[in-house]
Amino acid sequence: MEQLAPTPALPPEPKLPPARERVGPINERLSPIYPAFDGLTHENTLQLVIATMLSAQCTDARVNTVTPALFARFKTARDFAECDIKELRRLIKPTGFYKSKAKNIRACCAEIVARFNGEVPNTLDELVTLPGIGRKTANVILGHAFDTPGITVDTHVGRLARRLGLTRHRNAVKAELALMEIVPQEEWTNFSHRLILHGRAVCRSRKPRCEKCVLADLCPKLGVKGLAKKRKRKKKKGSPQRTQRARSKTASK
């Protein structure tokens, strides 16, 4: 019996440089695609604070449809602190979770009035003491209102940082500190912004568009293969044949 020749082994994939050496080229490739922060429309620091709080679990585009009327009605921190909570809820309702957001906005502005003379504080330690403001929101405010660089780790930044092999941490604070060690400080704010936009447009959570990604040759795609296997299992589980057999069994009972 004729023996088949063994299938030649595929050459091993080239080993990528360490994260510290790749982060610069990653940022350079994303820079012309996502050049500047233009997400949340605002005219002053207080408006940026409010808009950022509203952007939780909501798109920037939707927030920008709500804030013109909101900022026309309430102009200062005292205005927000003393506003009618029902009116505030009504104005921000399209952004979702409007009851908790309204509560946090009013409480945050009350603290700004009481403790900071109506002015938004400009340090991370002070910002995170305000209701509704965590490290993520604080870094957005510092980076875009006070030109103080900061790494903003939201779900997009965390996901891309892990897929790119820049950090293994799932904890946002640990991921932030890890990225701060390898990203040049002057690029902290811009790098975060670019990862967020790239995560929305290309490196999506369930179906990353690796074939259209400018970072494909710099990315180890950690966890991406697992997503493909999950989709394949899910598709097999819900195949028409299986579904038809399940219906037949149900009908026969």
Catalytic residues: 136, 154
Confirm if 242 and 181 have CB atoms less than 8 A apart: no
How far apart CA 24 and CA 142 sit, in angstroms, is 23
105: left (phi over 0), alpha (psi -120 to 50) or beta: alpha
Residue 177: exposure state from Cβ atoms within 10 A (0-12, 13-18, ≥19): middle
How far apart CA 219 and CA 66 sit, in angstroms, is 37
Task: Locate the DSSP E strands across the chain.
Answer: none
How far apart CA 110 and CA 118 sit, in angstroms, is 8
157: Cβ contacts below 8 Å, ≥ 6 apart = 151, 175, 179, 192, 195, 196, 199
How far apart CA 192 and CA 139 sit, in angstroms, is 10
Residues composing the chain = 253
Would you give the distance in Å from CA 111 to the centre of its chain?
27
